[in-house]
Structure 1
Amino acid sequence: MSGRPLIAVTSGEPAGIGPEICLRLIEFNSAAGNADLLILADRKLLAERAEAVGFAGKLREWTSGLHPAPGCLDVLHVPLSVPSHPGQLDPANADYVLQLLDRGIEGCLSGIYAAIVTAPVHKGVINDSGIQFTGHTEYLAEKTGTPHVVMMLAGGGLKVALATTHLPLKAVSPSLTQESLEQTIRILHAEMVRKYAITKPRILVAGLNPHAGEGGYLGHEEIEVITPVLERLRAEGLQLIGPLPADTMFTPPMLAQGDCILAMYHDQGLTALKYASFGNGINITLGLPIIRTSVDHGTALELAGSGQADPGSLFAAVEQAIAMASRHM
């Protein structure tokens, strides 16, 4: 296009706020000037939502080689399976949502897009359609043939990665093995170097149990799984601090010692992250052969079509994708 990175943005669940926060990217596009944005969506859906929220720009059908134009938002048309209405989920559109992701992934793998940014999807309605879907992270890993990826959220001055992702709490301990934890730490370390240009990243590692197991009195995962991995990787030169009690890990003195955090399970790490950054946090998938960032919120069906949805998280996700893509150009 213009020698700048082309960032693909999937509009997500059509009944949610994804389409309208994507429309707000015309504001970001006008101000950024250092990347080209492409929205993957049903063109009629975007036009309907644009009318509902008073979108002042022009929706333009994208073709390869098209140069950006002021006041225009470029759209790659992917047709809905059935018409969609704000706030009304329909399992019939689950395939459409996944087609958006597939088109974005294919474009990144082929080098057309420098990165993919994803608006929120609704896991429940995709599963209601008969398609097993755990989340973006797992879907991207499967579609890119990546055996091990790491989910990380960033915002509020924090970078929090997860050793396990979307699992019931009772499944966390059995899933936390030395092998999986070592893979996660290696990916996290490498991506801090590659994507964030931190030469020697310092990683704060949480324990799994209260008080990091209290020397075995409150659990043995720290002794049997976490500590042996940390000691082995420290011997290779990785800077790993822990295992740390999760209830004190997010205090300012402890945070000052690290560049990022590795939590053992979803809510252990993300409760603090979302408290610090809700509305402006982002999700990054580490370990993929492509760059992927995302919003840190859901579909907000109750706000769909109102024009009141905050695009801050999407703006932050696009900004991060551009920064990462620019480092690799």
Structure 2
Amino acid sequence: MTTPTLPPLAMTMGDPAGVGPAITAATWRELRSDPGLAFYVIGAPTLYQSACPVHEIASPAEAAAIFSEALPVLPVGPLPDVTPGQPNVDTAPAIISAIGSGVAHCLDGRAAGLVTNPINKSLLYGAGFRHPGHTEYIADLCAAATGKPLRPVMMLIGGGLRVALATIHQSLSSVPASLETNALVELGEIVHAALIADFGISEPRIAFTGLNPHAGEGGAMGHEEIDIINPAANILRQRNILMSDARAADTVFAEALSGAFDAVIAMTHDQGLIPVKTLDIWGGVNMTLGLPIVRTSPDHGTGYDAAASGNTHAGSLIAAVRAASSVARTRNKL
């Protein structure tokens, strides 16, 4: 009986002046002996040739056969000369094209999932990029292809935690007014569905953090828990989702680590990322839920200073490849 296999993962080059090229080569060197983690890069072959053997491919279907011997690269370009640590707006069209190609390959089944290297949004804005961020661009591409509106959700995985975010890149002062019960219900449903489909957890247990210290302490320190978060939790429980009321953020992550919860939904960016990065600064993975494709990325930025000095660390990208492969296999029941 033949063991079913998946297509390789697609990896975007990200900003070629950042750490992407170096950590991509290091990730290939680390994973090349495992055919189940085969990936190909959509980028410029010259970015990697000084760090590892490179094989230029014309199709994703060629990647698996050569992965153990060389880094498969599907060319994108043209790309100007690149100096590590010195971002160049002229690279923006190729960066954007690589993302679009990777999404298309996942949607049409040529790639099992997408692993994205970090980009610099401000550099892309200078070239006419009009999306709020990397994740939103990928979601818009998927929505356009499927004809379905999508709500992408950021989940951070690392240190034994799975943490989704209710709010992301916004000021703390703006968070209370942006929290809304129905939006939290939708978020809870997306996280619940992903824990089943992507992680194989049959009855996920999820916790909301509180926004305020001690989860508001019965209203003494704020009413967002009483007025917004707990009503969302109640609606989710009525829909047979095992969701807690708002729990104190200073203890809920320890509860999750002890096995009480399979995921935590944090109300703010730092509330959720601090425990993940403290526990696993080099191995955290950013995963996008709510998409028809698998998408992961390292939990760090372009790292121009590290690229210029050559002091790069591939741990998070390696973890992102492993996570994408695991989720793709779980979705396909392999």
- TM-score, normalised with respect to structure 2: 0.90
Q: Is the contact between residue 285 and residue 299 of structure 2 (CA under 8 Å) also seen in structure 1?
A: yes
Structure 2 CA distance for partners of 1:147 and 1:171, relative to 1, 3 Å? farther
Instruction: Figure out how many residues of one structure are paired with residues of the other and give that number.
Output: 322
- TM-score, normalised with respect to structure 1: 0.91
> What's the Cα RMSD here?
2.0
Q: Which segments of 5 or more consecutive residues in structure 1 lack a partner in the other structure? A: none
TM-aligned CA deviation for residue 41 of structure 1: 0.6
Alignment of 1:1-329 (within 5 A): 3-47=5-49, 51=50, 55-66=51-62, 67-69=64-66, 70-145=68-143, 146-252=149-255, 255-304=258-307, 306-329=309-332
Given residue 39 of structure 2, which amino acid in structure 1 is its aligned partner? L
Report sequence identity in percent.
Answer: 37
**Larger deviation: 62-71 or 296-305?**
62-71
Given residue 90 of structure 1, which amino acid in structure 2 is its aligned partner? N
Paired with 2:61 and 2:300, the residues of 1 have a C-alpha distance of 33
Equivalent position SS for 1:242: coil
Q: Is the contact between residue 4 and residue 36 of structure 1 (CA under 8 Å) also seen in structure 2?
A: no
Cα distance per residue 1:283-314 (max 9 Å; x no partner): 11011010001100111111215543111111
Given residue 85 of structure 1, which amino acid in structure 2 is its aligned partner? T
Cα distance per residue 1:253-289 (max 9 Å; x no partner): 8743111111011111101111111111101101101
Paired with 1:220 and 1:185, the residues of 2 have a C-alpha distance of 20
Q: Is the contact between residue 60 and residue 111 of structure 2 (CA under 8 Å) also seen in structure 1?
A: no
Q: Is the contact between residue 225 and residue 246 of structure 2 (CA under 8 Å) also seen in structure 1?
A: yes
Q: Is the contact between residue 13 and residue 97 of structure 1 (CA under 8 Å) also seen in structure 2?
A: yes
Paired with 1:46 and 1:277, the residues of 2 have a C-alpha distance of 27
Paired with 1:224 and 1:313, the residues of 2 have a C-alpha distance of 38
Q: Is the contact between residue 7 and residue 110 of structure 2 (CA under 8 Å) also seen in structure 1?
A: no
Cα distance per residue 1:11-65 (max 9 Å; x no partner): 1011100011111232234222214311111122333xxx2xxx24233334354
Moved over 4 A (4+): 252-255
Cα distance per residue 1:220-240 (max 9 Å; x no partner): 211111111111111222111
**Larger deviation: 260-269 or 57-66?**
57-66
Cα distance per residue 1:179-228 (max 9 Å; x no partner): 21111000000100010000111111101122212222322211111111
